[in-house]
């Protein structure tokens, strides 16, 4: 496919994914906030509670029924298409970015796996993730939410580790996000919406609604609420190579997920208690600890005299030109790109010097670049670039 077409297709789908994702997560956050702030002290008969709010110059009065009103209103607003559209655009984006250029973005360098096999693993992980999750929720663990949450975390961490062995760091992170997103939309499509339809149908037919179905839907809705912050991090993770490019990237992702869930839990319960107020400083401390733990270690020099010998810039320039500018050039020679990815151009010595910090982060510290190591950058070349940057990145 023409790289210019691919770029604009990527933009259009990513934009749609972001817009619908904001709508879905925003609705989730709002209704969770609404549930937590209902006044339940003296509710009117048949109500679980109510709430007064002011926004945008207007005053609103919202009421929640214990189960349902005696008669359904003519207009009832459903919240489902935000979830469905977010999933559909996300899957298409996954295919456009990672599956159409599997050798470049998906397959881990040196893994020996074919593009077709990698794509099959990626799609299979989404399907397996939903069925395993759904089975566990419907098992006896569904009545023990703490144990269920712990097992789900272990399984997702194990999936992150397994995928990091065959996928690039970025692709492994994105697929964990896609597994979680599939679980979330599966909850909406298979559990929450059927429960709501059954509730409405029972009321319209004059039957007593089954309280078990809404309770099951509420459990899955709570899961979706706690999944949101880890998914949001994964959506932006490709900007941070020190996370996905680390040799223990799966562990960093697991810790970040725990910190995200802690923060989400605090905001879920802070209206009733401040006993989890420690979660915010703990999450901040955890982020600082991860920053130190993920800091790149000084590379051992392959030549004993290199540590005391300045690198010749002409040699460094040749390495960068051979290994990096096939993509990061005003006129990329890599057929996958019509323009330099991220607008990063390394055609001139001055541009290389200006980008020295980013070159170090991507090619030396994390070795996330070149993508899929398609140009075959060697460890010695990475060390030489690192030494050049550590010595001041001189271009003289």
**The pLDDT value given to residue 335:** 77
**The pLDDT value given to residue 142:** 84
pTM, full prediction? 0.84
Place of tokens 């970015």: 97
| Tokens encoding 254 | 């697991």
How much is the CA Rg of the chain, to the nearest whole Å?
25
| Tokens encoding 335 | 């057929």
C-alpha distance from residue 147 to each of 139, 142, 143, 301, 312 (Å): 12, 9, 9, 48, 58
Going by the DSSP 8-state scheme, the letter that residue 38 receives in this structure is -
**In angstroms, rounded to a whole number, what is the distance separating the alpha carbons of residues 396 and 390?**
15
**The pLDDT value given to residue 298:** 60
The alpha carbon of 38 is separated from its chain's Cα centroid by a whole number of angstroms, namely 31
**The pLDDT value given to residue 94:** 95
pLDDT in tens, the chain (396 residues): 667 788 888 889 999 999 999 999 999 889 888 888 899 998 888 899 999 999 998 999 999 988 778 888 888 889 899 999 999 999 999 999 999 888 888 998 878 899 999 999 999 999 999 999 999 999 988 889 899 999 999 999 999 999 999 999 999 999 999 999 999 999 999 999 998 888 888 888 888 777 777 778 888 988 999 999 999 999 999 888 889 888 899 999 999 999 999 999 998 888 777 888 899 999 999 999 999 888 876 654 444 445 556 788 898 999 999 999 988 999 888 877 878 888 889 999 999 999 888 898 888 888 888 877 888 889 888 989 988 988 888 988
**The pLDDT value given to residue 62:** 93
How many residues would you count in the chain? 396
Q: 359-394 burial by CB neighbour count: b if 16+ within 10 A, else e?
A: bbbbbbbbbbbbbbbebebeeebbbbbbbbbeeebe
Domain residues of the chain, as ranges? Answer: 79-293, 306-390
| Tokens encoding 291 | 């920053």
């Amino acid at each position: 496919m023409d790289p210019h077409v691919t770029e604009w297709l990527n933009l259009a789908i990513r934009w749609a994914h972001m817009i619908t994702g904001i709508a879905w997560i925003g609705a989730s956050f709002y209704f969770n906030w609404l549930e937590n702030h209902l006044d339940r002290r003296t509710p009117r008969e048949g109500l679980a509670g109510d709430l007064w709010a002011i926004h945008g110059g207007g005053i609103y009065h919202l009421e929640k029924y214990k189960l349902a009103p005696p008669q359904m209103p003519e207009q009832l607003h459903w919240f489902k298409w935000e979830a469905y559209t977010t999933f559909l655009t996300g899957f298409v984006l996954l295919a456009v970015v990672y599956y159409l250029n599997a050798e470049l973005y998906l397959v881990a360098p040196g893994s020996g796996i074919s593009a077709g096999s990698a794509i099959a693993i990626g799609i299979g992980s989404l399907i397996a993730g939903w069925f395993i999750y759904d089975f566990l929720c419907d098992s006896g663990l569904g009545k023990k939410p703490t144990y269920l949450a712990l097992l789900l975390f272990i399984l997702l961490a194990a999936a992150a580790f397994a995928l990091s062995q065959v996928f690039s760091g970025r692709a492994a992170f994105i697929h964990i996000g896609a597994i979680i997103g599939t679980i979330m939309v599966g909850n909406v499509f298979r559990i929450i919406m059927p429960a709501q339809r059954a509730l409405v149908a029972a009321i319209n037919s004059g039957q007593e609604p089954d309280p078990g179905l809404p309770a099951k839907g509420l459990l899955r809705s709570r899961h979706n609420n706690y999944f949101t912050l880890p998914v949001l991090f994964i959506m932006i993770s490709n900007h941070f190579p020190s996370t996905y490019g680390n040799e223990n990237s799966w562990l960093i992702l697991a810790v970040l997920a725990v910190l995200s869930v802690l923060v989400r839990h605090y905001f879920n319960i802070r209206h009733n208690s401040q006993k989890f107020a420690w979660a915010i400083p703990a999450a901040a401390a955890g982020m600082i600890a991860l920053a130190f733990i993920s800091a790149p270690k000084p590379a051992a020099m392959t030549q004993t005299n290199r540590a005391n010998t300045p690198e010749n810039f002409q040699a460094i320039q040749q390495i960068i030109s051979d290994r990096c500018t096939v993509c990061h050039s005003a006129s990329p020679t890599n057929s996958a790109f019509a323009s330099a990815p991220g607008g990063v151009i390394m055609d001139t010595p001055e541009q290389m010097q200006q980008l020295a910090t980013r070159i170090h982060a991507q090619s030396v510290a994390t070795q996330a670049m070149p993508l899929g190591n398609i140009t075959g950058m060697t460890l010695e070349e990475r060390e030489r670039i690192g030494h050049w940057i550590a010595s001041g990145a001189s271009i003289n």
